[in-house]
């Protein structure tokens, strides 16, 4: 009995401890859901242990009942007296166990509700996380677009600034160009005024690639024609002093040139032993006149017909040409080379200047000499400078005077009728290369080796 009483006391203590544990577990469950779940688990473990303990108690009770039945007769009154408090205490334990079971069921239900709520909250948190990520992605895309927009705006501003700078530079350049153009216009006007003031002399300083041998006037069309060692013929505007056309095709230096009286053709004498004829309007070469065996130093065309041309060369010959047929019609041979020649106004005679310093008049039909004048002590020079320094003279439109330039820089005016010098013009400082009368008789133009052109009235 003493052992049974000790076991009952131990059992009571155990039950008291379990009740205390259950109460503590309940308090913890109400304070923190996660701790409640943990405590519930522990309580369940403890409950399973209690069940095991109850089973052990039942076995012990059965053993005790057996012993009680055995000892019932002897210990009946004492057993009844002792069992009454145990029955009462057992019913209390049963009630408490039922209460604990109800509380445990409530804990299970609370745990289930908490689990469901936790699942819902986890789903909501995931949804919120997804929304946050979407918003973050959207915000990142928006920020990226905003950054690109900002960069494009900045680039546009920079491009606008650069465009404005370029426009300012362009306007400044245009202003500078306009100023330079105004200066060039002013300079051009000054040059034009100087050109008009100084006359034909200024044209000798224009750009001509080669030495100018002769400048023959196409006076009524406002043109001047020049040729040189560059093998080209250049046509100039006397009003502006500008180059209007260049004629090509000559294979040698241009030693002399002339124009027909209708100003439709240009004829050049060349160091290639040939004569070349160009059409002024088209610029195309019409004829190449061959027959001389040395440099052709002088050429002139009839004043009354554009058909007949006369030329002189260093082969001691003077040739008369028919431009329409393109061949030679007469050849004059003389011992002294002719440097220069020109037609008379009637087209029947020609005047030639020779290396021996004599002027000679020739009949174009018969080829006979009509008159001879000892004009200079040296060779007679004229408009275009050849490589040996000789050129040609010219006769006035009225056939009364002959003008001849000299190597000393003077221009002598000869009277055809008196056969003597009536005037000596001294202005040039270099050898006179050519002289030419205006179609109206005045003025007379002359040029020298240094490129200076003088007009005489």
- 226-275 residue pLDDT tens: 888 888 888 887 777 778 888 888 988 888 888 887 888 899 999 999 99
Give the pLDDT of residue 337.
Answer: 86
Confidence at 451, pLDDT banded by 50, 70, 90? confident
Q: Residue 77 pLDDT more than 90?
A: no
Residue 351 lies in a domain: yes
Distance (Å, whole) CA 387 – CA 147: 81
Which of 47, 29, 161 lies closest to 96 in space, CA to CA? 47
Distance of CA 417 to the CA centre of its chain: 72
Is 201 strand, coil or helix? Answer: helix
CATH of the domain at 350: 2.130.10.10
Question: pLDDT, tens digit, for every residue of 399-427?
Answer: 677 787 777 788 888 777 776 788 888 88
Question: pLDDT, tens digit, for every residue of 55-75?
Answer: 887 787 787 777 767 766 665
Mean pLDDT score across all residues of the chain: 76
Q: Residue 207 pLDDT more than 50?
A: no
Last-in-domain residue among 66, 95, 127: 127
Is 446 strand, coil or helix? Answer: strand
Residue 151 lies in a domain: no
Q: Residue 156 pLDDT more than 70?
A: yes
Give the pLDDT of residue 165.
Answer: 83
**What is the domain count for the chain?**
2
Residue 47 lies in a domain: yes
281 in the same domain as 429: yes
119 in the same domain as 215: no
Give the pLDDT of residue 198.
Answer: 55
Please, are residues 263 and 250 in contact by the beta-carbon 8 Å criterion? no
Give the pLDDT of residue 414.
Answer: 77
DSSP run (H or E) holding 362: strand 358-363
Instruction: Report helix, strand and coil shares of the chain as percent, to nearest 5.
Output: 45, 30, 25
Task: Write down the pTM of the prediction.
Answer: 0.44
Alpha helices in 199-256 (DSSP H): none
Phi and psi angles of residue 456, each rounded to the nearest 5 degrees, phi first? -125, 135
396 in the same domain as 269: yes
Confidence at 312, pLDDT banded by 50, 70, 90? very high
Q: Residue 9 pLDDT more than 80?
A: no
Distance (Å, whole) CA 195 – CA 192: 5
Last-in-domain residue among 127, 152, 184: 127
Residue 51 lies in a domain: yes
Please, are residues 370 and 362 in contact by the beta-carbon 8 Å criterion? yes
Phi and psi angles of residue 337, each rounded to the nearest 5 degrees, phi first? -60, 140
Residues shown for the chain: 457
List Cβ neighbours of 39 (8 Å cut-off, separation of 6 or more).
Answer: 24, 25, 28, 29
**pLDDT-wise least confident of 11-15, 80-84, 277-281, 398-402:** 80-84
List Cβ neighbours of 247 (8 Å cut-off, separation of 6 or more).
Answer: 232, 233, 234, 235, 266, 278, 283, 285
Which one-letter DSSP state was computed for residue 381? B
Question: pLDDT, tens digit, for every residue of 101-146?
Answer: 888 888 888 888 888 888 888 888 888 888 888 877 777 777 777 7
Domain of 258, in residue numbers: 209-456
DSSP run (H or E) holding 401: strand 401-405
Tokens describing residue 397: 């439109």
Distance (Å, whole) CA 223 – CA 234: 10
List Cβ neighbours of 134 (8 Å cut-off, separation of 6 or more).
Answer: none
Distance (Å, whole) CA 352 – CA 341: 4
Residue 89 lies in a domain: yes
**pLDDT-wise least confident of 45-59, 144-158, 192-206:** 192-206
Alpha helices in 199-291 (DSSP H): none
Residue 221 lies in a domain: yes
Question: pLDDT, tens digit, for every residue of 357-380?
Answer: 788 888 888 888 888 877 666 777
Last-in-domain residue among 92, 127, 162: 127
């Amino acid at each position: 009995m003493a052992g049974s009483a000790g076991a009952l006391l131990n059992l009571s203590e155990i039950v008291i401890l379990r009740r205390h544990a259950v109460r503590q577990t309940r308090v913890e469950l109400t304070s923190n859901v996660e701790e409640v779940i943990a405590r519930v688990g522990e309580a369940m473990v403890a409950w399973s242990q209690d069940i095991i303990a109850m089973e052990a108690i039942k076995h012990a009770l059965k053993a005790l009942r057996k012993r009680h039945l055995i000892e019932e007769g002897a210990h009946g009154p004492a057993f009844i007296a002792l069992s009454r408090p145990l029955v009462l205490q057992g019913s209390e334990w049963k009630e408490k166990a039922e209460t604990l079971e109800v509380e445990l069921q409530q804990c299970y239900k609370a745990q289930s509700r908490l689990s469901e709520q936790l699942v819902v909250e986890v789903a909501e948190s995931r949804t919120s996380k997804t929304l946050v990520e979407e918003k973050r992605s959207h915000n990142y895309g928006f920020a990226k677009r905003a950054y690109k927009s900002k960069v494009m705006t900045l680039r546009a501003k920079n491009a606008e600034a650069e465009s404005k700078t370029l426009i300012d530079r362009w306007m400044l350049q245009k202003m500078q160009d306009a100023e330079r153009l105004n200066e060039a216009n002013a300079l051009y006007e000054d040059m034009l005024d100087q050109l008009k003031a100084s006359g034909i002399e200024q044209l000798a300083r224009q750009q001509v690639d080669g030495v100018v041998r002769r400048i023959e006037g196409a006076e009524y069309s406002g043109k001047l024609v020049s040729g040189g060692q560059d093998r080209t013929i250049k046509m100039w505007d006397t009003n502006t002093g500008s180059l209007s056309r260049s004629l090509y095709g000559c294979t040698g230096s241009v030693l002399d040139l002339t124009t027909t009286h209708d100003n439709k053709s240009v004829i050049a004498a060349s160091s290639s032993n040939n004569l070349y004829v160009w059409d002024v309007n088209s610029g195309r070469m019409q004829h190449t006149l061959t027959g001389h065996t040395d440099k052709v130093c002088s050429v002139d065309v009839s004043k009354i017909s554009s058909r007949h041309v006369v030329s002189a060369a260093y082969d001691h010959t003077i040739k008369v040409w028919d431009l329409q047929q393109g061949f030679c019609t007469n050849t004059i041979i003389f011992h002294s080379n002719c440097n220069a020649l020109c037609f008379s106004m009637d087209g029947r005679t020609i005047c030639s200047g020779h290396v021996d310093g004599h002027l000679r008049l020739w009949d174009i039909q018969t080829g006979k000499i009509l008159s001879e004048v000892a004009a200079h002590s040296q060779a007679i020079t004229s408009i275009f400078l050849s490589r040996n320094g000789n050129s040609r003279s010219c006769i006035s439109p009225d056939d009364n005077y002959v003008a001849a330039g000299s190597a000393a820089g003077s221009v002598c005016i000869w009277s055809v009728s008196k056969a003597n010098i009536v005037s000596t013009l001294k202005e040039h400082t270099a050898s006179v290369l050519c002289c030419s009368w205006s179609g109206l008789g005045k003025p007379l133009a002359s040029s020298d080796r240094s490129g200076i052109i003088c007009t005489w009235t």
